[in-house]
Amino acid sequence: MDEEKKSQSIGKEIRDYLIMFAAVIAVVIVINQVFLINARIPSSSMEDTIMVNDRIFGNRLAYRTEDPERFDIIIFRYPDHESTYFIKRIIGLPGEKVEIRDGKVYINDDPKPLDDSFCPETPYGNFGPYRVPEDSYFVMGDNRNNSHDSRYWIHTYVKRDKILGKAMVRYWPLNKMGAVR
């Protein structure tokens, strides 16, 4: 009789662990599909803001109630190959004219260039002008001379519905953990 109870107890314990394991997996899947996007940075296009091999979390709900803003760092489906995710900074908003002259970014013919002093270098060359469609964004990497971004794509703009989330927190490497700006 003791062997039978012991066997039932072990079986119940295994079942309880399996249920707990399944619940944890379900919660992680829901969090990853609904709330967060996990990204590993594969290139130097966002240096010095985000470095190669950094790991970040993006907020999938960030743009449910608000529109993306200039300088937001977004994770999105690459317009020329939508199975690939990219991460870049928003430069041009819907309806704006974006032009790069002598390495400076100008919006809507404003004589004063954007303050993008967070970039380690200014882009070489002249690009544009680009007219951003109403449902889209013009994006660039912070490492302007080493970034494959809106300036070079076949499909120049990121459509709003292709934005997966707003980059929020770097969690790797641990010594650089913190907000992404």
- Count H helices and E strands in the chain, helices first: 1, 11
pLDDT digits (tens, 9 = 90+) for 98-149: 999 988 999 999 999 999 888 888 778 899 999 999 999 999 999 999 999 9
Active-site residues, by number, are 45, 88
Nearest to 165 by CA among 32, 44, 4, 42: 32
Its domain, for residue 143, covers 2-179
pLDDT given for residue 1 in this prediction: 54
71-104: b (≥16 Cβ within 10 Å) or e? ebbbbbbbbeeeeebbbbbbbbbeebbbbbeeee
pLDDT digits (tens, 9 = 90+) for 55-76: 999 999 999 999 999 999 999 9
Model-wide pTM > 0.95: no
Query: How many domains is the chain partitioned into structurally?
Result: 1
- Band (pLDDT 50/70/90 cuts) for residue 4 is confident
CATH number of the domain bearing residue 49: 2.10.109.10
